[in-house]
Amino acid sequence: MLGLALTAALSFAPPPDAGTEAPIVVAPPAPAPPAPPAPAPTVQTDVIVVAPAPQPRPMTTPPPIPTPTPTTPRKPMAGVGLMAAAVGVFGIGLSSQITTANSQARYCRNWSDRGYNGVHGCFYDSEPWHMHMGTGFAFGSSMVLTGIGAGALGQYHAWQSVFGDRRPRNGRGKVITGGVLAMLGVGTIIADGFLLRRELTDFCTTHECEVKRRRLYYALGDVGSAAFIAGVGMMSYGKNLRENKLKYGRNWTLTPQASPNGVGASATVRF
């Protein structure tokens, strides 16, 4: 636009005088404006990032896990104290029986002087029923204590057979022997009861006869009770020995394990 204005100013001429033909002036055309510059070409570049290849991790071996030792069950009590108490209670009942029987025999030695018509009446009237009940209670308590103590001893010997001295012990033989003793004891007590029946029809007429009969009755009752108590104790011992040997012998342990390829656990079962 500035160029067009300058050209017009330079090509201006005063008007011609009158009578003079005005010259024809041809003005050159204005130059075209320059074209805008072409945009710079866009160069597209691809960026390639090269990452290093992953390196394999070194295999590290974990520290070995210590193998725990199988836990040993606590050693049970032997039950010797209970069996000793059972023997003591049985001895108390037996000694009271013997003492009372001797006192009765001395009392009826002079039965005629005490106003009885016969020796049998003296022994019948002075029968120590309280002593019989006390002796029965003592024998029953002894049987209970023997069963508990022998069972504890069987458990103790089962522990010894598995974890202690490892001596073989036969529980089945003890059960069989105890059963035989218990049956003998019951048979002896039944025989004693049958012998007591003659006191209803066949009376003694002398002091010596009464003393001998009562000694026989007491002996059979005491032997039968002792055999039955011993049989109960042996059966309890054998039963607990067998059951606890199975329980202690079949214990199992779970042990953790680890290796470079994995972790796990192993179970150990003892028969």
Residue-wise pLDDT for 161-210, tens only, equals 888 787 888 888 889 999 999 999 999 999 988 888 887 788 888 889 88
pTM over 0.85: no
Residue 148 has a CB neighbour count (10 Å cut-off) of 17
pLDDT score, position 146? 93
Q: Are 152 and 82 in contact (CB under 8 A)?
A: yes
**pLDDT interval class at 67 (50, 70, 90):** low
Distance CA 59, CA 47 (A): 36
| Confidence check: pLDDT of 83 > 80 | yes
The pLDDT value recorded for residue 64 is 63
**In the predicted model, is pLDDT for residue 82 greater than 60?**
yes
Q: CA-to-CA distance for 201 and 211, rounded, in angstroms?
A: 17
133 vs 153: CA distance, rounded Å? 30
Single-letter amino acid, residue 7: T
E runs forming strands in the chain = 252-259, 262-269
Percent of the chain past pLDDT 90, that is, above it, reads 26
Task: Evaluate if residue 98 carries a pLDDT over 80.
Answer: yes
* Interval 141-159 mean pLDDT: 90
Pairing of the two strands 262-269 and 252-259: antiparallel
Could you tell me if 142 and 229 are in contact, meaning their C-beta atoms sit under 8 angstroms apart?
yes
Q: Above 90 in pLDDT, residue 126?
A: no
| Lowest-confidence segment of 106-120, 197-211, 225-239, 244-258 by average pLDDT | 244-258
Report how far residue 139's alpha carbon sits from residue 31's, in angstroms, rounded to the nearest whole number: 148
Contact 77, 151 (CB under 8 A): no
Query: Helix or strand or coil: residue 266?
Result: strand
- The four Cα atoms 146, 150, 153, 155 give a dihedral, to 10 degrees, of -130
What lies within 8 Å, CB to CB, of 96 at 6+ separation is 131, 134, 135, 138
